[in-house]
Every structure is written in structure tokens, then in C-alpha cells.
Structure 1
Amino acid sequence: MPRISAGRVQSVATRLIVEKERERMAFISSAWWDLAAVTALGFNARLLEVEGKRVAATSDFGADGAVKEKSLANILLLDEAGARGLVESLKSSALTVKSMEESPRTERPKPPFTTSTMQQDAGSRLGWGAQITMRIAQRLYENGYITYMRTDSVNLSAQAIDAARKAAKSLYGADHVADAPRTYLGKTKNAQEAHEAIRPAGETFKTPGELAPELSRDEFALYDLIWKRTVASQMADAKKMQMRVDFDAQTNDGKATIFRANGSVITFPGFLAAYDDIVTEDSKDEETEDKRLPAMTLGQSVKVNEYTCEGHETKPPARYTEPTLVKKLEELGIGRPSTFASIIQTIQDRGYVYKRGRALVPTFLAFSVTGLLETHFTKLVDYEFTASMEEDLDKIASGEAGRVDWLRDFFYGVDGQPGLNELSADLGVIDARATNTMNLSETIEIRVGRYGAYLQQNLPDEERKLANIPESLAPDELTLAKAIELLEAPSGERELGIDPATNLPIIAKSGRFGPYITEVLPVVEPELTASGKKKRKKADAPKAKTASLLSTMTLDTVTYEDALRLLSLPRTLGTNSSGDDITIQNGRYGPYLKAGLDSRTLTSEDQLFTLTLDEALEIYSKPKERRRGVAKPPIKELGVDPTTEKPLIIKDGRFGMYVTDGETNATLRRGDTAEGMTLERGLELLAGRRAWEAENGPSPKKARKKAAAKPRKSDTAPTLTKNVVKKGTAKKSAKKTATGKAKKKAE
């Protein structure tokens, strides 16, 4: 297959994504119910125990969706009937305070950004992929706003520590600065610390607000994250007080129950003051705002307005996103800051992975290639081996080991372990068919072919059935029931009749590019050369006539008469005054007229069969319109960009569906569908397009428009987080002179 490759890091990254999908495929959903008491004091308490048995919660279920073995004997698994019965039996019961517990909690700031943590943060907060983040960071670095952005180090120079502490003291007060300069230890395996952590450049850190006039919207958003992370790293710990209150309640049939309410309040913000409205990672699993519980005393009765119950289902393990994949690779010690973005891009370019929203979804091709490597090159896709290889390469780079010795061991093997030479010796015995086949049942197989994945059903005494697997269908969604549905769908092939002009059968079928009709040519035995190989087909060999269905037709409804009309295209209407034939035909972008080199777009598919020569001549008598017709309505509205407050919509264009905010357009990628598109994914696509235009310049059409326009203010917008502007500062920052493509972007 073309464009297929394996690599030291890309194959391991693909394997991680495939293994996650295997977990999802093996997942079995479980259901449980719980109860809550809505009190008159303004807080809710959840049911904790019934008759001394703890009520099941999310933590009692494993990654496979089933109840953990150690929890089976100790929990009460409520179903809907049991939950509603408890609600009814508790209806008239009040809560009685059983116990109260307060505990202080300290939260420390995180270290400054490394490449991977910057990519993770930009992914979770801004919805960007690793490659987009690195493009924008590169521009910030090249223009002198941040330090080098490819680093494993969490260390800051003495100059940077001093600048961060001064900024924190000036903006938030001396009590918000750590008593002594903070230093951090890196946790990354095989870290190379040639550069300091990513931080704002210079002896003093300019606030995001001060740089707002100079930065584009995306540059501003990333600089804002870097500035806050750096300054916060030298600030004091945040302090919180957590409160837990347990309540007794009795059902009308005498069962003892315990409810619990939790509260939390920030007593000293410390470094959280720098983050403003950013939610820190440590706060994500808890209430991020103050949740105060009212003052209560032991034995106090608390009135309950109502008891409610709610059903839950376990969810399969979340697929990797770009940030979580980078984090996993870093934990395993695989890859380098300079390679994370390119690794993720490569496995997408090779067709191993595509994005659905922000999730990385493996293709069936990825399953096939990963299975081949696991079977025949187990060591080469082993996580520990790949990480140890990183260490060896570092030693070679630093001169601690010799490259020739290492290559010899790798090729021939060492300490009884086979080398590449031995592993590749048996490549000839690999069964390609078995490698590209996955069994879904005894009779249904998933096959990976040159043009994509498909289903094959082999029933005894019956002709095999084939069905394409839609590219948008994820592997964990291809259940046996879904496979049977695809195989039984009428989209396979439907015979419509015989073409009277050629006496050939006409069938309707589904292809990679949509439904179409085609003639069936008779099977001709191929000619063989003297050596027994098939001869190449002659250029003048007969070809089957084909035609795509019109937008109003489906495989189920297209008729024999429709097929004959479609196969009659292109239709010659007559000639013009120059003697050119005027033809009407259906193209990729709809129906059109053609006379010589002059073509005219038509407004309706009905005109393909009704337009006359006189009407065509009238169309040609008018000047050719360069403008588009009436704009098509949007396919879907995604919501409002929280940064620009502009609506994001999906539209259908000449080259397919795209997302736009009115200024920037971004084509939907493989795996993206209008139905599955989210606001977050739309923002990511637009950010990627803006980053590409900043590097390569806008399209020629846009460039011509902008060249004629007057210079305007730099394209800036508020970030997703609150701007930090030094109080009392009214200085205007001088605009930095942009050069080359960056200048075009700024204008």
C-alpha cells in the first residue's frame, strides 16, 4: 500500500491509540442509580450508605465497565426500581447532622512550561493540537516574546526567577510571593535540559495586556498562558478549607441511611490570583468556585425540600487527544520536545489516525499495521525498548557511547536478544491476507484493502457478500449488528435493467465518492505475455459508462428511466455562431454548459434534461458572472467563539464542507462530519488555518484584497482568560515592525 510506513516512535504512538480502542471495544457498559437530598439550606447531599452498605459510585467500576471485584461484596448497586423506592420511602424524612469534619488543604503551583506541558495546556484550554501550538510558539519566539520553545527543562534562570517574583509582587502583593525562590525537579524520563523552561523573554516580563496591540489573537492567547504559568510558579501556595458533613436519615420502613455533603472555600488565593478565571488542573475534579456550607451543629435537623434519583452508565475509556497522547509519550520517555507535534501529524498523514472532535481515532489500517508489528517485530514496538533506545541515542549524542557498536548490537543482537537482521529474515513467510484480516464472527471478516476497509461475509454455498465500511465509522462502533446492517443494506449493488444502446446491464452501487450508476462490461480473459504475466490494458479498451446520482436521488429510489437519462449525459444542444458544440453536463460542482472553452454554471439539476438550445444561447448572450449566486444557508451552527464573540458555522463550498467565523475558513478533515462537529473542534480547525496562513501567507485572492486596503489596527481579541494589565500603567506599547509573512498577517 502506498504511503505506509513504520517508525521507532510513530509506530509506538499508533500502538497506544490502537490499544485504547481495543479497550473501548472490550468495554461493557454498566448502569447504576444514586440519590440526592435537596435541602432547604441551599446545598445538596448525596446518598452514601443504606443499612451500613455503601452505595455504588463511579470509582467502583473498572476500565472494562464492570464492577471491580474488590467492590462486589461491599457495595449496594441500586437499579431504577430500588432508587425510586428509596425516594418514596424517604419522602417525609429530614436529615440529622451526624458528624462534621474540617480539613485545610494546600495547593502548590505547577512548574513553568516544558514543550509537552505547554502543548497539553494549550490543548485543554484553547483546544489546539500540538502542531498548531508549536507554530504559534515559533512565531512568539522568532519575534522575541518568549524563550526557546523546544525544551524538557522546568528550570528558570536567576534573571527569570527575579522577573517573575517582581511581577507577582507588583500585581498581587508581597504576601502572594513565595518566601524563597522556587526550584523544580523535572519528572520526564530521559529529559534533555539544554534550555531553560519556556517563559516570557527579557529581564522584565511584559504583561499580556501590554503586548495586546502587538500580537495576533492566537499569539496573545498562548503568551497569556505562558506568562501566567511562569509568574504563578514563583508565587505562594493557595490555601483552602474543605468541609465534610454526614447526615442520618431514616426511611418509613425503618432503614438507616447516611447522606454526605462536601464544601470548599479558598482562604488564601496565593498563585491562583495569577490564573484569574483559568481552572487549574488540580481543581478540575472538585468544585472550582467557593462552595460554602452553612454553619450547622451536631444533632441539628435539616429540612429536605425533595429527594431525587438519577441513573448513570459507565463510559468507555476516553480516547487519546493530542495533549493526553503527548503526556503519555512523555511519561514513557518516548519522543522529544522537537518531535511530539511531527509524530502526531505523521500518523494522521499516513492514514493510521484521524480526529473526531479532539479525539484521536485509529483506522482499521492502524489495527492491521500494529498487529503485524506486534506479531513479527514485538521488540520494536515495545514501550520500554523504545524508551531505552532514547537513552542510548542520548549517550551517543553526548559521546558516552559509540554509534558503530550500538548499530552492530541493534542489527545482529546482543545478550541472546535477536537483532533486526534475524527479525527481518522471515519476512517472506508473512501472510499478507491474514495480516489484513480481522474476524468479527465465524462468517464475517473485516478486510483492509488498497482503497480502504470493507466487510466480507463468507456463507457456505452462497456467493460472498462485500460492503464498504464508512470512513466515519470508528472501530469500536463496528459491532456485529452494525456489520450485518451494512452487509444487508441495498447500497451494495442493484440491477436496474439493460441499456438499449449498448445492450449492457445497468446497476446502481455505492462507491468511495458516493452513489452512482454504471454499465457492467462483459468479463474478458486477460491476455498474457510470453512469461505468463498479464498484459497492460490498451488505452482504447472499452470503458463502462458511469454517472453520479443527482442530489435528489438515492440508491433505493433511482429508477431505470433515471439511469438512462443520466447515462445520456453529456447532452449536445446544438452549435453557436462560432460553430462550437454546446453541451450540457453534470460535473463535480453541479450542472453546467460548455461551448469550446467557455462554460456557464446552471442553477438547477432539472435543467440537465429540460434546457433548450435557445435558452442556452440566451445564457451565453449575457456577460459571464464572476460572482457566486445566492449564498447557501449554513449546514450547522456551532455556537459563538468565546474569544471573538463571532458565530461559527459549517458551510458547503466548492471543495467540500468547511467551518468559518466570517473571516477565516477551514476545510473539514477526514473523520470530521457536520453531525459530529463541535464548537471546540471548529475553533481548533480555524486556529490551525490561521497558523498556516501566518507562515505561508493568505491565499492570493485574500492578498490582493488586503494589498488594496488601508492599513488597519492589529487583529487582536481578548483571550479565553482575563487580560492582565498592570494597574496604573497607561503606557502604549510601540508596535513591533513585522517582516515578511508575519507583516502580511499583522496587516
Structure 2
Amino acid sequence: MKNLVIVESPAKAKTISKFLGKDYKVMASMGHVRDLPKSKLGFDPENNFEPKYLISTDKKKVISDLKKEITKDTTIYLAADEDREGEAIAWHLIPALKIEKNPIKRIVFHEITKGAILEAINNPREVDQHLVDAQQARRILDRAVGYELSPLLWKKVRYGLSAGRVQSVAVKIIVDRENEIREFVPEEFWKIKADFINPELKSELAKIDGKAKKVKNEQEAKEIETSINQGKFELFDIEEKESNRNPAAPFTTSTLQQEASRKLGLSVRQTMVIAQQLYEGNVGNIPNHTGGLITYMRTDSLNLSKVATSAAKEVIENEYGKEYALAKPRVYRSKAKGAQEAHEAIRPVNMALKPSDIKSYVEPAQFKLYSLIWKRTLATQMAPAKIANTTYKISAGKDKEYEFQSKGQRIIFPGFMKAYTEGSDNPEAVLDSSEKILPTIKVGTVLDLEKLDLEQNFTKPPARYTEASLVKKLESEGIGRPSTYAPTISTIQQREYVTKTEDKKLAPTPTGEIVNSFLVDHFPHIVDLGFTAKVEEDFDEIAEGKIAWQQVMQHFYGDFKKTINEKEESVNKEDYLQIREIGTDPKSGKPISARVGRFGPFVQIGTKDDEEKPQFVAIPDHLNMDTITLDEALFLFTLPRVVGQTQEGEDIKANIGRFGPYLQVKTKFYSLKQDDPYTIEFPRALEVIKEIDEAKAKALIKEFPEEKIQVLIGQYGPYIKQGRKNFKIPKSVEAEDLTLEQTLEIIAKDPKSKTAAKKTAAKKTAAKKTTTKRTTRKKSTAKTTTKK
């Protein structure tokens, strides 16, 4: 092949291949092809932090397939994404494919359209080593933290834990907020509201003696009520102000994630997956459109190109009228730390392509996200909204010492609000775009009171973070970059350091809290927001060529490694056992404690030093190990409980195990998905058992009881089940016709089975023996020849 274009994903390859002629082949690298080895540190601190990259096991076939298309005359276009990660992917491909002597051209584009691709092909550049080095610094520094800190956590806290540079800071932010909530002491305050009649009007006490003051308690509220009853309500002033409201800036990665969460209910990860599909053109066949639908979705720039603003103006004039358009384009400047202004904001590649034009050809989630981006981009280039704000000021009280206020809002000209208004993270906030018209009343009018409400309130603790508000916090602190927000938030949930509550808020798990405590106590700089932001600034300076990446590593690694070695000796594991004494068991007199184990929090009666083995039970999700009471803990030990008996006289027991709540009848187990094992009644237990038995009967194709083997039909077709292990059935085999011998053979050949493992080991041993014999024979022959 004369020209080989290498992109990151197959979807992108498919789209770009439509724009290039027969002389070009477009293939995908499937992301990074080389990385640091998993089982080693991966770099040499004694040799200027020299990394030791290996081709990833799952990318060996990709490399092999790419090599087949390359000859010494092939021109290779490295077309990975236009960011540091993409630059590193392109750089790694050169040694992995051994193409150092080939003509190599690095091409970049921020949208996948024919014009953008052809322009990139015609304007190649060199691989930017500074960007590569910035990515290398991030990867190696993160490896240092993870590789050195995780084993220390295993020794001093619990096996299987891990630490990450940015992830640990994100966990700390969530833990700090949880501590604020726990320590929060509500303060009482009272609202005093007056409803009037003829005309209807609602108002609220705003000032006392001309100043904004809180009404602290019921006594104060009653005193105000007494004074009000001795006076009258009179409208003494009408304040009217006109104001202009400007639209929010175009989307960056961060603001898109936040708004998609607020308006569409998408997680940060879901937003990025859908945005990637829109960017790559991984959608249906849209008439008169080929390629991607939006520009590159990992950006912190607020820039819009002249082409985009001109196209937006044309659409605005056609859709809404000339009065909604701007004479000059509106320009935004980013306030985000380390923003890369050379890129563009996220916008549609073709403003003329309305959401309604694509609705029938794309997935519902793709349509919703595209609509959000299209409307937001359009709004940025629309005229400001003109709002008339009116405040009625009403005097009250014996000496007119109280001022009540009624506020109204009228939209004089909707401007950008015709297309789009930004969402809010505050569920109690009334949408600013809504109108509230006040009745027409003249100054001096005495108002007829319908009712006076004295309303007790308490201040509320700060809210837990959502995924979106956490992204906002990370960005505002300069922690992470557009490409890191989604993986960071996914990782802390996957590691079970953070959990998502029913209302989609992020709360730390007991494990997350203990890991955070350990890091705060012994590695405060690792979880320090300022330090983490400073490291990001160092990466930016590397990307700009101002400092060498090894310099950043030298500054960090020496002290970090020294601290690791010190903590190996000085930290006492007993300090991080996560044990909370609750009280004493009234029956046995043994201590009851809440603890965190391998499978989460649990309550234990007794200790390991007792003659009898301690009793323990898992703490359900609705209880917290930090707040569980003695009565609640004792109630947990009522499990296992006998709910009733089957017709055969067998006990039906309810319990909680490693995999959650369940019912048990002899050796059969029935998972409880919706029912509480503590409260489930006998009739309901029989229903659950019947439902699960019937479902299992429908799924059962064949059974070989003597071998404890079942042939079942599952979500993805027939399979074999033996104990807790499942085995695939070859497509060439009919599940209904399987004999016991055939079933055992399939199990034996499966890599998961011990039999297969033993056979593989035996084959390897035999192969080694054969090789040894051949080597011995060769040596023997050589000796004989020498003697002759």
C-alpha cells in the first residue's frame, strides 16, 4: 500500500476511508499499542527514569496486521487524536511497527469531515516530542505512585487496595465533603410569609429596621407576628430594573459532562462514549452528510472558529430572525487552569444540520446529546435576553419596622433563551428563564392580608457531589485535564472507594475513607489539591518545551521513595483496622464491634482470641458502620431466621451471604432481589421459591445429577454449568443432543477447568523434555565430531 493512515478506532477508520481515494488505506491501532510492563516498576530511576515499554499482549495482532500493509516505500500518516495522549499513541507506533526509515507524517484534525481530513493530509507535521514527553511524565509519575504505594497499602491496611495520584485526590474531595456533612450543626431560622387577596400576591419578610436579618427562633417570630397584627401592609415602593443576560459559553469537556448530567441524566462516562460516537461519525446513514457530527470532544477551549460563528449566524437569522443574531461574533475566554486555547470548543461540524434532520437516523441518546451541543452553540452567538425585574416593597408592623418583598420577572426580549438556557445543580432553584408577573398595584395601596405563615426552617449541610459537580470541582482546582475526568470518576467507583447513592450522589465507602485516612496521615502531599494542581502545571510546561520531563520525576521521586521506605518501618497496621466498638452482647457478655473486611462492612460478636469462633454478619446498605447502634447490630444477628417450612417439612431460612440476601431450603439457594431477609413473610417466601424454580426449569435443557452438571439456556444461548463455573458450548454442537461424555470433554478442554490446565502443563513439560533431549543429542554429536 502506497499510503497507510493509522487512526485510533475502527469507527473513525471507517468514516475517514470514505474521504480518501484508492491510494490510501485507513486502519486502527485500537488506542495505545505499547505500555509499561504490568508486573514491574517499568522505568529505571538510576538511569534518568528511562522507561521500558512493551507491546501490549492484546495489541500484538494489531501490530502484525498493520505491518502486513507496510513496505519500505509506504508513506505512513499517524492520525491519532489531537491531544497529548494521541501524540503519544502516534509516537509509540513508530518503534512498535519499526518504521523509522519510512516516510512518516503526523496529521491532526479536530473534526472528521472531508475538508478537515484533506487539509490535514496536505499539511502534515512532525510528531511533537514535547507533547509526548508530557504524556510520558504523567504515565510514569502515575506508575510510580500506584506501584510504590499500593503494596504499602496491602501491608498496612488491607490486601488488594490501590492508590492513584488523581484518583486519590478525587476520593479525598468526596471524603472531606462527607466529613463536613457529619460535622454540620443545623441552625434554626424562621421564614415569615404573607399572602394577600384582592389582588392575589405572595410576599416574604426581607428586612427588619432596613437591614437583612435572620429570624432565629419561634419567640422572635411570634414577636414579629404580634407587631404585624398591630399595623397594616402598605406598598411603599416599586423598584423596576432592566437587565441583559448573556448566554453560557460553548461546551468544553467539563461543561458538556455537567450539562448532560443535569439535563439528560447521563453519567460522565456515558457522555464521553456518546460524544465519541458523534465525533467519529459512528451513527446511521444521514442523508447528504458524511463524517462526524461534532468537533473533538476532549477540549478545555472556548474558542469557536470564524467558519462556525458565520454558519451559526446564518442559522439564527433563518430560524429566529435577524434581531436574534449578533453584528459581531461573541468571543469567550477560558478561566480554566492550563486551558489549551489553540483548540476549539465542542460544536456541531455543520451548524445547518439541525437535530430534527438527524433524529430518524441516530440512537435516542445520540440525538439528545447532539441537540444539547447544537442548541448551546447556537445560543452563544445569539443576542442577549432582556429581562425586566420588578420588586414590590411592602411595609408592615406597628412602627413599619418590617419590609416584605414580592419579586416578579418579565422577559422583554428572549434573545438566546429562545434556543437554550443552562441547567442548575441546585434542585430547589427556580429556572431563571420562567416569568413571574406581578399584579398591577399603585404605591400607597394598603393590602388585604389573607394569611400570615410562620415557617420553621433549619440550615442544610452542603450537598454531596454528583459526578458533574465533582468534575466542576476538579477543573476549578486545576486537577486533571479533559481526558482524565471520566476515567478518574469511573476508577474510584470501580475500586469501590466511592459509591453512588439512590439520588445519584457520590458517597465514600468505608474502604475509601480508611485509604484516604492512611494517605492523609502519611502522604499528605499526594492528596494535596495544591500539589496535584502544581504537577498538572509541570505537565503543561513540559508540553510547551519549557522543562524536561525527567526534571519533574527527579523532583518528585527521590523524596517519595524515601517516605515509602520510612513508612514500611514506622506505620502500625493496628491503626487502620477499621474497628468500632459498639457495645456488649447481653447474652454472651462478649464485645460487639463494627469492622470492614474483604467483602465490606460487618458486625462481629467476640474476638479472635476467644475459645469460640466469633459470630459475624454483613451490615446492610441502609446502615452505616460509623453510626450503627447496639440495637441495630443485635437485630442483624437474628439471621439466619426460619421463615416457615415447605410441604415436605424442610425449613425455609432467610439470610445474608457474600452475594447478598437469600432464602435457603436444604442445599438450594434463592437470591432475594427485592425482599428484605429480616422481614420477608412465609407466603412471599413461597412465591419467591416458586418463581425461581419455574425460571430454572424453563432454563434447564439437560441435567447430569451424578456429575452436578446442567445444560442451561442463558441470555447469550446454551451453556454448561458445573458448580459455580460456566462453560461455552461450541456452535457446531446441539445442546439438546449432548451426552455426558461430550459434556465432560467440553469441560476438560475449557481453559477454566483444572483438567485442561493439567493437560496444558503436561504438554509443556513434555515439550521441555523433548527440547532438552534434542539439545543433549546435539552436544553429544558435537563432542563425537571433535574427537574424530
* TM-score for the superposition, normalised by structure 1: 0.61
The higher radius of gyration belongs to 2
Q: In the alignment, is the contact (CA less than 8 A) between 2:593 and 2:605 conserved in 1? A: yes
Could you tell me how far apart the structure 2 residues matched to 1:8 and 1:401 are?
Answer: 21
Q: Which residue of 1 aligns with 2:483?
A: 338
Correspondence 1:348 to 2:489: no
The aligned runs of 1:252-331 (5 Å cut-off) are 256-275=401-420, 284=429, 287-331=432-476
Q: Which residue of 1 aligns with 2:387?
A: 240
Q: Which of 161, 169, 172 is equivalent to 2:309?
A: 161
Q: Which residue of 1 aligns with 2:620?
A: 470
Could you tell me how far apart the structure 2 residues matched to 1:411 and 1:9 are?
Answer: 16
The aligned runs of 1:18-417 (5 Å cut-off) are 18-40=175-197, 41-49=199-207, 54-56=212-214, 76-79=215-218, 83=221, 90=228, 94-143=232-281, 144-202=292-350, 204-250=351-397, 256-275=401-420, 284=429, 287-356=432-501, 357-412=503-558
Could you tell me how far apart the structure 2 residues matched to 1:595 and 1:467 are?
Answer: 33
Give the C-alpha shift of residue 339 in structure 1: 1.6
SS of residue in 2 equivalent to 1:385: helix
Q: In the alignment, is the contact (CA less than 8 A) between 1:146 and 1:199 conserved in 2? A: yes
Q: Which amino acid aligns with 1:512?
A: R
Could you tell me how far apart the structure 1 residues matched to 2:568 and 2:691 are?
Answer: 46
Correspondence 1:425 to 2:570: no
SS of residue in 2 equivalent to 1:124: helix
Could you tell me how far apart the structure 2 residues matched to 1:9 and 1:164 are?
Answer: 38
Q: Which amino acid aligns with 2:413?
A: F
Could you tell me how far apart the structure 1 residues matched to 2:360 and 2:671 are?
Answer: 51
Q: Which amino acid aligns with 1:241?
A: A
Could you tell me how far apart the structure 1 residues matched to 2:557 and 2:413 are?
Answer: 59
Q: In the alignment, is the contact (CA less than 8 A) between 2:656 and 2:677 conserved in 1? A: no
Q: Which amino acid aligns with 1:36?
A: K
The aligned runs of 1:297-696 (5 Å cut-off) are 297-356=442-501, 357-412=503-558, 418-437=559-578, 439=580, 446-455=594-603, 467-473=617-623, 478-479=626-627, 482-491=628-637, 510-514=656-660, 548=669, 598=702
Q: In the alignment, is the contact (CA less than 8 A) between 2:389 and 2:409 conserved in 1? A: yes
Identify if the C-alpha distance between structure 1 residues 429 and 548 changes in structure 2 by more than 3 Å, giving closer, same or farther: farther
Give the C-alpha shift of residue 175 in structure 1: 1.9
Could you tell me how far apart the structure 2 residues matched to 1:466 and 1:205 are?
Answer: 64
Q: Which amino acid aligns with 1:164?
A: A
User: Paired residues, what number?
Assistant: 517
Give the C-alpha shift of residue 86 in structure 1: 5.5
- More helix by percentage: 2
Give the C-alpha shift of residue 360 in structure 1: 1.1
RMSD: 4.2
Q: Which amino acid aligns with 1:468?
A: A
Of 442-451 and 162-171, more deviation after overlay is shown by 442-451
Identify if the C-alpha distance between structure 1 residues 553 and 394 changes in structure 2 by more than 3 Å, giving closer, same or farther: closer
Give the C-alpha shift of residue 176 in structure 1: 1.7
Identify if the C-alpha distance between structure 1 residues 258 and 232 changes in structure 2 by more than 3 Å, giving closer, same or farther: same
Could you tell me how far apart the structure 2 residues matched to 1:593 and 1:231 are?
Answer: 57
Q: In the alignment, is the contact (CA less than 8 A) between 1:37 and 1:307 conserved in 2? A: yes
Give the C-alpha shift of residue 592 in structure 1: 6.2
SS of residue in 1 equivalent to 2:419: helix
Q: Which amino acid aligns with 1:189?
A: K
Identify if the C-alpha distance between structure 1 residues 558 and 201 changes in structure 2 by more than 3 Å, giving closer, same or farther: closer
Give the C-alpha shift of residue 262 in structure 1: 1.1
Q: In the alignment, is the contact (CA less than 8 A) between 2:326 and 2:383 conserved in 1? A: yes
**After superposition, what is the alpha-carbon deviation per residue over 1:3-62, rounded to whole angstroms, capped at 9, x for unaligned?**
532111111111111111111111223333322111222220112345667552xxxxxx
Could you tell me how far apart the structure 1 residues matched to 2:318 and 2:663 are?
Answer: 73
Q: Which residue of 2 aligns with 1:689?
A: none
SS of residue in 2 equivalent to 1:419: helix
**After superposition, what is the alpha-carbon deviation per residue over 1:133-179, rounded to whole angstroms, capped at 9, x for unaligned?**
11111111111111111111100111111111221222222222223
Could you tell me how far apart the structure 2 residues matched to 1:295 and 1:236 are?
Answer: 29
Q: In the alignment, is the contact (CA less than 8 A) between 2:301 and 2:343 conserved in 1? A: yes
Q: Which amino acid aligns with 2:487?
A: S
Q: Which amino acid aligns with 2:189?
A: W
Give the C-alpha shift of residue 285 in structure 1: 5.4
Could you tell me how far apart the structure 1 residues matched to 2:417 and 2:370 are?
Answer: 18
Q: Which amino acid aligns with 2:570?
A: V
Could you tell me how far apart the structure 2 residues matched to 1:175 and 1:163 are?
Answer: 16
Q: In the alignment, is the contact (CA less than 8 A) between 1:517 and 1:546 conserved in 2? A: no
SS of residue in 2 equivalent to 1:113: coil
Could you tell me how far apart the structure 2 residues matched to 1:337 and 1:175 are?
Answer: 36
Give the unaligned 5+ runs of structure 1.
57-75, 413-417, 497-505, 520-544, 567-584, 601-623, 629-699, 701-747
* TM-score for the superposition, normalised by structure 2: 0.58
Could you tell me how far apart the structure 2 residues matched to 1:170 and 1:48 are?
Answer: 46
**After superposition, what is the alpha-carbon deviation per residue over 1:629-650, rounded to whole angstroms, capped at 9, x for unaligned?**
xxxxxxxxxxxxxxxxxxxxxx
Give the C-alpha shift of residue 468 in structure 1: 2.9
Of 510-519 and 235-244, more deviation after overlay is shown by 510-519
Could you tell me how far apart the structure 1 residues matched to 2:209 and 2:365 are?
Answer: 56
Give the C-alpha shift of residue 82 in structure 1: 5.8
Give the C-alpha shift of residue 186 in structure 1: 0.5
Identify if the C-alpha distance between structure 1 residues 221 and 115 changes in structure 2 by more than 3 Å, giving closer, same or farther: same
Could you tell me how far apart the structure 2 residues matched to 1:114 and 1:192 are?
Answer: 11
Q: In the alignment, is the contact (CA less than 8 A) between 2:294 and 2:348 conserved in 1? A: yes
Q: Which amino acid aligns with 2:245?
A: E
Q: Which amino acid aligns with 2:512?
A: A
Of 259-268 and 431-440, more deviation after overlay is shown by 431-440
Q: In the alignment, is the contact (CA less than 8 A) between 1:455 and 1:483 conserved in 2? A: no
Identify if the C-alpha distance between structure 1 residues 336 and 310 changes in structure 2 by more than 3 Å, giving closer, same or farther: same
Q: In the alignment, is the contact (CA less than 8 A) between 1:112 and 1:230 conserved in 2? A: yes
Identify if the C-alpha distance between structure 1 residues 231 and 474 changes in structure 2 by more than 3 Å, giving closer, same or farther: farther
**After superposition, what is the alpha-carbon deviation per residue over 1:518-570, rounded to whole angstroms, capped at 9, x for unaligned?**
99xxxxxxxxxxxxxxxxxxxxxxxxx866589799568999xx9xxx9xxxx
Identify if the C-alpha distance between structure 1 residues 380 and 596 changes in structure 2 by more than 3 Å, giving closer, same or farther: closer
Give the C-alpha shift of residue 625 in structure 1: 13
